[in-house]
């Protein structure tokens, strides 16, 4: 059987208990070496076969899994953060299905949650934004035209940008062209939850310069929106005057 496991954003104690269990029992581990913290491999049992998928193609990954299955071995496919976000698991799952190989998916703490925790931030502040747009700049992987940054920017909601650290000149222009004020706050979180995590605060306009000054070109999230500002309204849920299923409000 194959377990796709979310490794979490970096800190080795941010893997789930289920993920940890599968990792410590696996005969074969294939980990995404470009981003997964290698210290997680210390949870592997002695003698586990370990492969770094950064050097492998999809076919090579599936070959390793197929060989393990023939030998009745369990495989953990370890992906950074949560596997559902830019994890390329669908193409693996479809090949496993075709080969009649059993699999399941264990969620992980995505880096965008790790980054929010590092900032002690709330993405969904009342009267500021109640939506989070998770997206990326187009790189070698195309983004559908209807999902342009410019069109999303019109909502001025909270925006989380993955895979875009090297493209911030264009990103900044598109965010402003779409509708964000130039002074909208931005936080760049480099290696969220890793020991060498770094946080930079800037604005939509000063983002490219901030990236340049600090030499950030990868492993960073760019968080955009007024949720990073000072203004918001209290929640209704904890308002003394607000009644709900579990509490009677003051009249």
- Looking at 27, 41, 56, 86, which residue binds ligand SAH (CB under 6 A)? 86
Shortest gap between Cβ of 186 and ligand SAH (angstroms)? 14
Q: Which of 50, 56, 85, 93 binds ligand SAH (CB under 6 A)?
A: 85
28 and 73 in contact (C-beta within 8 Å)?
yes
219 in contact with ligand SAH (CB under 6 A): yes
Q: Which of 19, 81, 178, 225 binds ligand SAH (CB under 6 A)?
A: 81
Least distance in angstroms from the C-beta of 223 to ligand SAH? 10
Task: Please report, for residues 8, 122, 189, 213, the alpha-carbon distance to residue 12 in angstroms, rounded to integers and kept in the order given.
Answer: 8, 23, 18, 29
CA-CA-CA-CA torsion sign (113, 20, 219, 154): negative
Q: Which DSSP symbol is given to 137?
A: -
User: How far is the C-alpha of 226 from the C-alpha of 233, rounded, in Å?
Assistant: 12
**56 touching ligand SAH, by CB under 6 A:** no
Binding to ligand SAH (CB under 6 A): which residues in 138-177? 162-163
Q: Nearer to ligand SAH by C-beta: 77 or 79?
A: 79
Q: Is 114 in the site for ligand SAH (CB under 6 A)?
A: yes
| 21-to-7, 24, 74, 193 alpha-carbon distances in Å | 12, 5, 12, 21
**In the complex, residue closest to ligand SAH by CB:** 81
Q: Does 134 bind ligand SAH (CB under 6 A)?
A: no
For the chain, the first-to-last Cα distance in angstroms comes to: 58
Question: What is the rounded CA–CA span in Å between residue 75 and residue 26?
Answer: 6
Q: Does 9 bind ligand SAH (CB under 6 A)?
A: yes
Binding region for ligand SAH (CB under 6 A): 9-10, 35, 79-82, 85-87, 110-111, 114-115, 162-163, 189, 191-194, 219-221
């Amino acid at each position: 059987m194959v377990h796709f496991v979310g490794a979490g954003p970096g800190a080795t104690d941010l893997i789930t208990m289920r993920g940890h269990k599968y990792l410590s029992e696996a005969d074969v581990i294939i980990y995404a070496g470009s981003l997964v913290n290698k210290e997680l491999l210390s949870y592997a049992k002695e003698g586990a076969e370990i492969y770094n998928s950064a050097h492998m193609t999809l076919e090579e990954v599936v070959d390793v899994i197929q060989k393990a299955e023939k030998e009745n071995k369990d495989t953990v496919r370890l992906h950074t953060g949560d596997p559902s976000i830019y994890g390329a698991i669908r193409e693996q799952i479809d090949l496993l299905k075709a080969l009649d190989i059993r699999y399941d998916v264990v969620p992980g703490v995505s880096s965008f949650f790790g980054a929010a925790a590092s900032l002690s931030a709330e993405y969904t502040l009342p009267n500021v934004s109640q939506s989070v747009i998770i997206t990326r700049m187009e790189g070698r992987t195309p983004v559908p035209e209807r999902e342009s940054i410019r069109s999303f920017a019109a909502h001025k909601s909270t925006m989380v940008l993955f895979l875009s650290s090297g493209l911030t000149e264009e990103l900044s222009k598109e965010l402003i062209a779409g509708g964000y004020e130039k002074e909208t706050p931005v936080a760049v979180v480099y290696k969220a939850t890793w020991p060498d995590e770094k946080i930079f605060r800037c604005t939509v306009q000063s983002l490219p310069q901030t990236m340049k000054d600090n030499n950030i070109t990868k492993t960073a999230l760019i968080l955009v929106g007024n949720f990073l500002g000072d203004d918001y309204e209290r929640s209704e849920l904890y308002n003394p005057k607000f009644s709900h299923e579990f509490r009677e409000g003051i009249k």
